[in-house]
């Protein structure tokens, strides 16, 4: 679209309209309300705060000004569920009965995984810990909560024990977890059979068992605190 040069220069010399002046004054207050509340308030709360301060302003006007200024309130993240049971899967019996802390290493390994919210999205962290030494034997991080996440942590635990103890034998070690679908999957069950490990499963979502053990290590406490 072509316009005459005189029209262009006339528009540049024209003083700001009443609306523009009003927007500029109001935008200062909008910014102040937004940042005084730790940059968390969205359109609705900023608008309500302005009304409480006596400003005659509409919600759409506040939304427009915040959009022009690039101000966005915090968005509550959707709760992530990590433990989802598979009703059709067979479960190992509970061989631990909440007595997962034993008086010797490599008798009970505790397996669990949790999620961590990051700026790039949600990631899942799988742990496998010895109930006696409280040592994290296996540790894996992934962007999906597939069975591979827990099987790789198990493989790492076995590899770590074999490197540190040439006489280590995995036969008979109890691997305790909750009844999440990852731990009742065919892939995880097969890994247990391949290495002679005994699977032990508690109830669905009984994270108290596993997380209590994990909290006793520095690594487990830091990750669980991030996911809380």
CATH number at residue 168: 3.30.420.10
Residues 27 and 138 in one domain: no
Question: What pLDDT is stored for residue 4 in this prediction?
Answer: 76
Q: Is residue 2 part of a domain?
A: no
Compute the half-sphere exposure of residue 209: CA atoms within 13 Å on the CB side of its CA: 27
Residues 221 and 113 in one domain: yes
Residues 124 and 44 in one domain: no
Q: Is residue 118 part of a domain?
A: yes
Give dist(CA 2, CA 181) in Å, integer. 65
Query: Which residue, 73, 86, 53, 104, is CA-closest to 179?
Result: 86
Residues 112 and 223 in one domain: yes
Overall pTM > 0.75: no
**Packing angle between helix 59-69 and helix 18-36, nearest 10 degrees?**
80
Give dist(CA 128, CA 191) in Å, integer. 14
Q: Among the residues of 133-203, which ranges form H helices?
A: 147-164, 186-194
Question: What pLDDT is stored for residue 74 in this prediction?
Answer: 77
Query: Which residue, 16, 22, 18, 66, is CA-closest to 46?
Result: 66
Q: Is residue 85 part of a domain?
A: no
Q: Position of tokens 């409280």?
A: 134
Which residues does the chain have with pLDDT short of 50? 207-208, 212-213, 216-221, 223-228
Question: What pLDDT is stored for residue 63 in this prediction?
Answer: 93
Residues 211 and 141 in one domain: yes
Question: What pLDDT is stored for residue 207 in this prediction?
Answer: 44
Residues 221 and 126 in one domain: yes
Q: Is residue 171 part of a domain?
A: yes
Domain extent at residue 36: 16-69
Burial of 107 (0-12, 13-18, 19+ CB in 10 A): middle
Q: Is residue 8 part of a domain?
A: no
Q: Is residue 6 part of a domain?
A: no
Residues 115 and 213 in one domain: yes
Question: What pLDDT is stored for residue 224 in this prediction?
Answer: 46
């Amino acid at each position: 679209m072509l316009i005459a040069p005189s029209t262009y220069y006339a528009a540049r010399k024209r003083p700001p309209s009443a609306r523009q002046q009003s927007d500029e004054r109001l935008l200062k207050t909008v910014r102040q309300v937004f940042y005084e509340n730790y940059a968390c308030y969205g359109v609705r709360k900023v608008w309500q705060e302005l009304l409480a301060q006596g400003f005659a302003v509409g919600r759409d006007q506040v939304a427009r000004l915040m959009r022009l200024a690039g101000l966005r309130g915090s968005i509550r993240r959707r709760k992530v569920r990590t433990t989802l049971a598979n009703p059709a899967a067979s479960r190992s019996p509970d061989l631990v009965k909440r007595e997962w802390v034993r008086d010797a290493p490599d008798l009970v390994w505790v397996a669990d995984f949790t999620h961590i919210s990051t700026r790039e999205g949600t990631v899942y962290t799988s742990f496998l810990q010895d109930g006696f030494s409280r040592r994290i034997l296996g540790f894996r991080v992934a962007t999906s909560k597939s069975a591979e996440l827990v099987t790789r942590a198990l493989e790492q635990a076995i590899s770590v024990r074999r490197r540190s103890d040439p006489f280590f034998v995995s036969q008979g070690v109890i691997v305790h977890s909750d009844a999440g679908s990852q731990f009742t999957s065919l892939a995880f069950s097969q890994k247990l059979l391949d290495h002679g490990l005994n699977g032990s499963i508690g109830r669905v979502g009984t994270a108290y068992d596993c997380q209590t053990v994990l909290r006793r290590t520095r690594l487990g406490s830091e990750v669980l605190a991030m996911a809380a």
